[in-house]
């Protein structure tokens, strides 16, 4: 009898090692670009009466050595903390066997999202940052900031870190978490933006990173925008940069470029290409002629499926998680 594996936050964290995840996410980008993936558009259920929404993200991908399918069901409810002592964002991942549709696992999608988002930034950084990048700025010290540093330090020898956030307690917690491994300090947005690599992970709707603050050869991972109206980087940064996206439909709808794109300030001619095109070698990553580079990441369902694949395979090897008879096959 086959059983479904339940993997909670701790199980996901334990069984997803960042170097392997980065490789799996790169495989997912390649599969998507090569036509070996199916990823219907992210769908939304808007719940204004609860100041929240649900999002469904299904995907299938064939990476050659492995294939995988699944769907993530995730919410955004900003009032959850104050009203219900719950996280703003919660996700559940259903991971299925593509061959017979058996539900192999139910996973905590929140931890999975944090890990795969960091890994996606690492893939982009590996292709777009200067080879000798040693400093990293992070704007926003929330939960996403931790995996940004952990992932990007896998692809570049990061020594100096500047963390910027209006919440001093968050900054202190972030520094405490990493001070043993990096030369890390609090700093301004301008100081963070001067680093070799910059990750922005804020929910702002008015740009906070001005063009004049950004270093001449800084690579930026714009990770915060995930809904219409969100916008972290000044338009001039986007227009002056080698601009790389994860998916055209998602980035123009809810990514970093969504506001200037719909205002006509930025057009398709200003987009260099998709990260998948760079991964498969159809377009160049960083060249000697490049100055600022920007990766506009909205987060793709193929990333969740790839991350679930890594988590599940290692959980089976390590005998982690809780196996249960979801379909009631023992009664048949």
- SS3 letters across 120-184: HHHHHHHHHCCCCCCEEEEECCCHHHHHHHHHHCCCCCCCEEEEECCCHHHHHHHHHHHCCCCEE
297 in a labelled binding site: yes
Tokens of 206: 């008015």
Residue 214 contacts residue 179 (beta carbons within 8 Å): no
194 in a labelled binding site: no
206 in a labelled binding site: no
226 in a labelled binding site: yes
Per DSSP, 22 falls in state H
Strand partners, 186: 163
224 in a labelled binding site: yes
229 in a labelled binding site: no
Point out the catalytic residue in the list 72, 83, 242, 283: 72
Measure the CA dihedral 240/241/242/243, to 10°.
Answer: -110
9 in a labelled binding site: no
74 in a labelled binding site: no
| Angle, CA of 181, 292 and 114, to the nearest 5° | 45
54-76 as b/e, with b when 16 or more CB fall inside 10 Å? ebebbbbbbbeeebbbbbbbbbb
Distance from C-alpha of 18 to C-alpha of 152, rounded to nearest angstrom: 10
Distance from C-alpha of 83 to C-alpha of 88, rounded to nearest angstrom: 11
Whether 42 sits among the annotated catalytic residues: the reply is: no
Binding residue positions: 116, 143-144, 224-226, 230, 297
Binding residue positions for NAD(+): 116, 143-144, 224-226, 230, 297
Q: What is the set of active-site residues?
A: 72
């Amino acid at each position: 009898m086959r059983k479904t594996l339940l993997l909670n936050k701790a199980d996901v964290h334990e069984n997803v090692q960042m170097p392997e995840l980065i490789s799996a996410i790169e495989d997912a980008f390649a599969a998507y670009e090569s036509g070996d993936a199916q990823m219907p558009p992210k769908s939304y259920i808007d719940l204004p009466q609860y100041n929240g929404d649900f999002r469904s993200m299904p995907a299938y991908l064939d990476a050659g050595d492995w294939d995988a399918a699944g769907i993530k069901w995730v919410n955004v409810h900003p009032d959850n903390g104050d009203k219900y002592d719950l996280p703003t964002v919660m996700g559940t991942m259903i991971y299925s066997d593509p061959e017979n549709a058996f539900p192999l696992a139910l996973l905590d999608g929140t931890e999975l999202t944090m890990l795969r988002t960091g890994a996606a930034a690492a893939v982009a950084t590996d292709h777009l940052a200067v080879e000798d990048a040693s400093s990293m700025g992070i704007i926003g010290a929330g939960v996403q900031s931790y995996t940004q540093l952990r992932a990007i330090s896998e692809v570049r020898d990061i020594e100096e870190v500047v963390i910027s956030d209006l919440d001093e307690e968050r900054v202190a917690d972030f520094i405490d978490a990493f001070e043993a491994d990096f030369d890390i300090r609090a700093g301004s947005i301008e100081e963070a933006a001067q680093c070799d690599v910059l990750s922005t992970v804020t929910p702002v709707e008015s740009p906070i990173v001005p063009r004049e603050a950004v270093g001449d050869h800084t690579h930026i991972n714009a990770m915060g925008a995930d809904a219409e109206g969100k916008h972290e980087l000044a338009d001039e940064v986007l227009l002056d940069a080698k601009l790389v996206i994860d998916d055209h439909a998602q980035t123009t709808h809810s990514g970093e470029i969504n506001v200037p794109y719909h205002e006509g300030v930025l057009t398709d001619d200003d987009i260099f290409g998709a990260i998948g095109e760079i991964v498969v070698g159809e377009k160049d990553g960083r060249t000697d002629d490049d100055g600022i580079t920007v990766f506009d990441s909205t987060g793709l369902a193929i990333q969740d499926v790839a991350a679930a694949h890594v988590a599940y395979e290692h959980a089976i090897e390590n005998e982690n998680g809780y196996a249960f008879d979801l379909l009631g096959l023992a009664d048949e």
